[in-house]
Amino acid sequence: MIFSPLYDQMLSLKDTWMRGFLFWIFLVWMATGTAFGAVDSVGGLDFLGKLGNTSSTDHRKLAPLQGPFKNGPQVTKACLTCHTESAKHVMATEHWTWKFRNKATGQNLGKLSVLNSFCGSPQSNWSVCSDCHVGYGWKPNGFPIDARDYDFANEGNVDCLVCHDTTGEYHKTPEDGGQVFDLAEVAMNVGRTSRKTCGGCHFFGGGGDGVKHGDLDSSLFSPNRSLDVHMHTGGLNFNCTTCHTTDGHNVTGSRYMPKAKDQRGIDVPGWTDTTRTSCESCHGLTPHPKRPRINDHTSRVACQTCHIPFLARGGKKTKVWWDWSTATRLNSEGKPFSEKDADGYETYTSQKGTFRWAANVEPEYFWFNGLTQYTLPGDPMANERPLKVNNILGSYEDTGSRIWPFKVMRGKQAYDPVQNKLLVVHTAGDDDSALWKHFDWGKAIKAGMASIKDSSYSGKYDFVETKMYWPAAHMVAPVAEALTCTSCHSQNGRLANLTGFYMPGRDRFPLMDTMGWILVALVSMGSLSHAALRIYFDAREKRLR
Amino acid sequence: MKKVFIYSSFERFWHWTQAVLIVFLMLSGFEVHGTYILWGFEESVQLHRYLAWGLVILWAFAIFWHITTGNWRQYIPTTQKLVEVMVYYTKGIFHHLPHPYKLTKLRKHNPLQRLAYLFFKLIISPTTWVSGLLYMYFAEWTTWGLDGYLSLFWVAGAHTAAAFLMMAFFCGHVYMAFVCSPITAHLRAMITGYEEVEEGE
């Protein structure tokens, strides 16, 4: 019994030793207690969603709104009798101009200019794409017109109702004024914008429910807490504009130039810009009071990265692959056809090609400083494949960058292999060249290219694999569903591909680890050998005696 | 044999508290390093942080104690009897020869210990402290203007290297604590303060 003398000794220890021992216990208990006691809860904010919805005007009592109205523009005229400046305001916003100048990159963006990896471009496809423009008058004589011929200066063309309808009845139909609902009833029930009005367009971008963004789809009309902790209908019940604050009809927040890193923190009226289109606007720069180590991440990791654990979480799928190259196949009868997956999502249509859909998609993560460089029609294509239709900028070295979650849309789209540029395709229309009607790529591209400024086209087309980045900022999960440390701080975690910097738990020093363990092993083996020798010599000595 | 009072109560308190802190720092640190899963990554990070501050506070007291009591002189390296001590541990100990070095309260460490503890105090500890605090305040580097001069790769690397040295030291130290006769003598001394030394001289 080697240790028995020690044990006896310990039992008879004096007070100092006992006191010391109790102190260690206390120390360890304190440390672990604080470490393990960390919890998160945000309570007492339930009143928030109920504020700010009281109007001082009952629009039912206003004479100009009693109607009857023959068409939308007549309603607009009535609105403008009181809201004298509203049309001017709207006409200054991107919702109207479809133009966005990115001052940092010098690129002219907006729907009038860009290409995407979904439907391609609204250019030459105004008959369909103009449905989401906040204006009337796209078919002045019953026929669709080109944006170049659209009257962007006409106040009467501003569509007030598409954003301010509260009845859910209003639709901006393709034929102006061809409504099947009572415009006066809609006009007398105008109110603040809602998830319904904003979502009417933004949840259906890319040609259908949830197609484009991955973090925006019809499930957000009435989300539960798990889907969106802020918009939860039984809880905070946030509107889109609760965060996307507006001034003079200008809605803040933009995916052309998002604020990748808000360094202002909580936005106090009179002191800051009073926009709330960043998490930090309300939550501040150190939003984890009980878990300070997580606050240390906020300068390099966007809130969205941990708090949007998956895309398309609301039960709707989002489109992740769109291969245009397979479009225009016809069945044995020479007719277009479509195929669907088990959940009813189209996997092939003769008009659009092959699709892949996914729900609960793990986002992909990249450094992002808010700047995006587009490959615009006419721009020479970069050599990299898949071609980046939009290239997000940022890096670990750039302290203005943070790690952001993205939906990466992939697919194949038409390009000019001779002139090395992406092509604008005329897809929608009732004419003799639209792809969706005649299934003839040659004609459709010729018509598409003829509609844009830089219309040169070699006459040859092929398909190139492309990808496009969509930063995620919606469908914010409750804390319990957010990512945990080891989602990233582990080998093969979510940030496995984001290399070029050291990350604890993920990265090792293989050589040093090996050498370190060898050193520890040598010391231990040396000790054990020494002990063995002692025992051996002791035994020999006893035997000799 | 006679009992000599070698370790004051502060020294013993310091030693054992430091021992517990370092054991748990190693356990949590190597979990953060990704060597194994024990308490969970976040818990280990949190624990490591609290224990580190515990160690910083303890060392602040210890440094003060060393300076004011003059005990820092205990670690001044010497070659006097160094060879004899080395020969003792590689040879004499197996034949129960007497230890060539006599402890007193004024020189409580043999020449080999002095070197080992000096290495601990001048290399392992400062590397751990500096790299650890920089690591802990990684988020402040930009504010402090350190971004251009440091990379987490080197800071974490230095911290990990120091941790391996610490672990090697720990293993050797724990074994050496039992290299005496009776084998619990050193341990008892570190607890009670009294070491039994042979009479004479």
Q: What is the pLDDT along chain A (545 residues), one digit of tens a residue?
A: 344 444 444 444 455 556 666 665 666 566 554 444 433 344 455 555 455 567 889 999 999 999 899 889 999 999 999 999 999 999 999 999 999 999 999 999 999 999 999 999 999 999 889 989 999 999 888 788 889 899 999 999 999 999 999 998 898 765 444 557 889 999 999 999 999 999 999 999 998 999 999 999 999 999 999 999 999 999 999 999 999 999 999 999 888 989 999 988 888 877 766 788 999 999 999 999 988 889 989 989 999 999 999 999 999 999 999 999 999 999 999 999 999 999 999 999 999 999 999 999 999 999 999 999 999 999 999 999 999 999 999 999 898 999 999 999 999 999 999 999 999 999 998 899 999 999 999 999 999 999 998 889 999 999 999 999 999 999 999 999 999 999 999 989 999 999 889 999 999 899 999 999 999 999 999 999 999 998 998 888 888 87
B33 touches chain A (CB under 8 A): yes
pLDDT at B78: 84
Alpha helices, H only, A345-417: none
Within 8 A of A519 by CB-CB distance, chain B residues are: 164-165, 168
The model's pLDDT over A128-137, given as tens digits with 9 standing for 90+, comes to: 899 899 999 9
Q: Is A34 exposed, middle or buried (0-12, 13-18, 19+ CB in 10 A)?
A: middle
Q: How many CB pairs under 8 A join A and B?
A: 153
Residue A42: per-residue pLDDT: 47
| Mutation for testing the A interface, residue in B9, B12, B48, B154 having most A CBs under 10 Å | B9
Pick the more confident residue, B199 or B60.
B60
Tell me the chain A residues in contact with residue B94 when contact means C-beta distances shorter than 8 Å.
533-534, 537
Q: CA–CA separation, B2 vs A531, rounded Å?
A: 26
- Alpha-carbon distance B185 to B167, whole Å? 23
Let me know how long chain B is: 201
Confidence label for B200 from pLDDT (cuts 50, 70 and 90): low
Which residues, 6 or more positions from B150, have their beta carbon under 8 angstroms from its beta carbon? B134, B141
Reported ipTM = 0.90
CA distance A411 to A467: 6
Q: Which residue of B17, B143, B192 to mutate against A (max A Cβ within 10 Å)?
A: B192
Q: What SS3 string covers B59-97? A: HHHHHHHHHHHCHHHHHCCCCCCHHHHHHHHHCHHHHCC
Residue A203 makes CB contacts below 8 A (sequence gap 6+) with A209, A210, A216, A217, A218, A220, A221
| CA max distance for chain B | 63
Show residues of chain A in contact with B47, CB under 8 Å. Answer: 31-32, 35
**Beta carbons of A534 and B94 less than 8 Å apart:** yes
Could you please state the CATH topology (level 3) that the domain comprising B2-197 is classified under. Answer: Fumarate Reductase Cytochrome B subunit (1.20.950)
**How deeply is A395 buried, as exposed, middle or buried, from its count of CB atoms within 10 A (0-12, 13-18, 19+)?**
middle
Nearest beta carbon to residue B41 from set A30, A485, A515:
A485
Q: Do B156 and A504 touch (CB under 8 A)?
A: yes
Chain B residues with CB inside 8 Å of A295's CB?
139
DSSP 8-state secondary structure symbol assigned to residue A46: T
Question: Which among B175, B162, B190, B80 is positioned nearest to A527, based on CA atoms?
Answer: B175
Instruction: Answer for the pair A161, A189: CB distance below 8 angstroms, yes or no.
Output: no
Selection from A447, A458, A461, A454 nearest residue A124 by Cα: A447
Average pLDDT, chain A: 89
Model pTM score: 0.86
CB contacts under 8 A, B 154-173 vs A, are 156-157, 160-161, 163-165, 167-168, 171-172
The better pLDDT of the pair B104, A334 is held by A334
CA distance linking residue A103 with residue A465, whole number of Å: 29
Nearest chain A residue to B96 by CA: give it.
A538
| Rounded Cα distance, B145 and A274, in Å | 30
Cβ(A427)–Cβ(A452) under 8 Å? Answer: no
Residue B43: list chain A partners with CB under 8 A: 35-36
The pLDDT, as a whole number, for residue A110 is 93
Q: Which chain B residue's Cα is nearest to A524?
A: B171
At A388 the three-state DSSP class reads: strand
Nearest residue of chain A to residue B42 (CA atoms):
A485
Task: Inspect the interface and report whether the beta carbons of A508 and B34 lie closer than 8 Å.
Answer: yes
Q: Does B38 touch chain A (CB under 8 A)?
A: no
Other beta carbons within 10 Å of A457: 19
The Cα B133–Cα B18 span in angstroms is 18
Condensed to tens digits (0 to 9), the pLDDT of residues B7-38 reads 889 999 999 999 999 999 999 999 999 899 99
- Choose the most confident range, by mean pLDDT, from A407-416, B116-125, B180-189: A407-416
Closest CA to A284 of A298, A294, A271: A298
For residue B156, give how far its alpha carbon lies from the nearest alpha carbon of chain A (Å): 8
Sign of CA dihedral A222, A227, A232, A235: positive
Chain A window 334-373: which residues touch B at a Cβ cutoff of 8 Å? none
Give pLDDT, residue B97.
85
Q: How far is CA A144 from the centre of its chain?
A: 32
Q: What is the pLDDT of residues A463-514, one digit of tens each?
A: 999 999 999 999 999 999 999 999 999 989 999 999 889 999 999 899 999 9
Q: A521 and chain B: CB distance < 8 Å anywhere?
A: no
Q: Among all residues of chain B, which has the CA nearest to that of A527?
A: B175
Burial of residue B33, with CB atoms counted within 10 A of its CB: 0-12 exposed, 13-18 middle, 19 or more buried: buried
